[in-house]
Structure 1
Amino acid sequence: MHEPAVICLMGPTASGKTALALELAGQLPVDLISVDSALVYRGMDIGTAKPDAATLARYPHQLVDILDPAQSYSAADFVTDAQAAIQASHAKGRIPLLVGGTMLYYKALLEGMASMPSADSQVRAALEARAAAEGWQALHDELARVDSESAARIHPNDPQRLLRALEVWQVSGKTMSQHRAEQAAAGSHWPYRTVQLAIAPAERAVLHERIALRFAQMLEQGFVDEVIALRARGDLSADLPSMRAVGYRQAWDYLEGHLDYAGFQEKGIIATRQLAKRQFTWLRSWSDLIWLDSLKPNNLAVALKCLQEAQILA
């Protein structure tokens, strides 16, 4: 008797993950589960390239439109929600198909969460005040002194992860690297047979072209108006996780007058390229990935063959 199966479909932004997932859903008894830190938010549709209402009605996605943008959502929240969605899918005799590009969520789900402390608003506020006074490099220098492994992994211009690493150290007395080592020693308890597919264009320049084209399409579809409506609510700010999403942060800066329109476009495209680069970095370190080339016409057939060979399909 085989243990239950799970399919993962990963890849950088604008690589064609959603299109392939919908093709697979048209052929197989799968339940789609989104692995995307921005698609969880309601009202953030254009800038996240969320499937439209008709597509979501025909191909329902779990973990899409589950939160208001004023709320925060963590990797631990995702793991809880995804595990429930996977179990519900198996209970119906179906196969969960996880699709998305938030690699931290995949890692947390497949390898387990490190026992890291919860966020501490007072510690975080003190660190942010220090950053404002001394600069982010000073905080990165401190991290390098207490946790060289995390400092090597986290760029000085990545304030969110830098703050979290120092917060973990100050709150728990253990570095993030120590927490991760303890997690690795405890071992993974992932109980499912898994096929992990990754899709991307073989040529990076093609992905850059796709990113620029999609950003232009988002603007035509009313992306700026979408962010105007979000700002008009009055309860959202630029430092919320939702508004730090790629594209939204640059649109917010444009509407605040910090960027002109051309600068907003340029920075939005550059930020999306940087996101894709980070996703590739994650994926290159991943084990057991089956790579598909976005530019090939037969990815559905190749994916189905891989699933049959792995005995995922009955």
Structure 2
Amino acid sequence: MMDELVPRLAVLRALAADEHVTHAAESVGVPQPTVSRWLAALGTSLGAPVVVRSGRRVRLTRAGRLLCEAADRALATLEAGHRAAAEEVSPERGQVALGFLHLLGRSVVPALVSGFRESHPSVRFRLVQNSRQDILNHLVNGVVDLALVSPPPTDATFAHAVLREEELILVVPPGHRLAGRPSVRVAELAGEDFVGLEPGYGLRQITDDLCAEAGFTPTLAFEGQETETVRGLVAAGLGVALLPHADSPSGLPEIPLNPRAAREIALVWVADIPLPPAVRAFRDHALGV
């Protein structure tokens, strides 16, 4: 049964991404007529079609999409198991798929990867940058093995360990009324326009939470996907921002928050899925740095 089912589920995954039967057939390495027969057989076994025609393409029905979602989870587990078995024989030739926030690609990720490669030179890395929520979704779906995010997730699906903490400060345009202050309370920012990251980014969540604790909802004049873009918008006088300290002098006034605020950067993995040897070795290295 599994010999028949697995390649058919792989076809469903390909169709969900591309909605093209020929491309799905090429991706699994079987003739197009075979794919058509498999789809018909799946529909017969379910008692409902899994795809419907939409012009020259096909799209998954609700039944097909439900089956595809289950296939994603099942095949991710199978793929992880296959990797683990292969790497058990030769762990030094494994691969680590690491997801992380854009900001962490400047210093945190290069330092961790280069340090690990000194003792594991043959392990390969696949690096994926995105927003916090997208990275956590990738982790659940098996796209990445480990994730570096902030703040750490509270969902029981995940296990995590905090690697470091970064202070958050207020960044304002030159000449701003608060520039030169020794510290500032978040509540004093209630009437300010903010510049920040888009929803789904960890720093945006932290900003929203700090403002909520201070009793107001921040007014976001501009939203971006990179902290350097946010700094540039602040420099142009378009708003204020809550950010980590700049890696290099930016020319913008930076004011500590009172009370102090910080963000935790955590390494995260799925709690109930065993990690392949190479991934486990990298996790242990990161936790020991």
TM-score by shorter chain over 0.5 = no
TM-score w.r.t. the length of structure 1 is 0.26
TM-score w.r.t. the length of structure 2 is 0.28
Structure that is richer in helix per residue:
1
Relative contact order, CA 8 A, sep 6+: which one is greater? 1
Higher radius of gyration, 1 or 2: 2
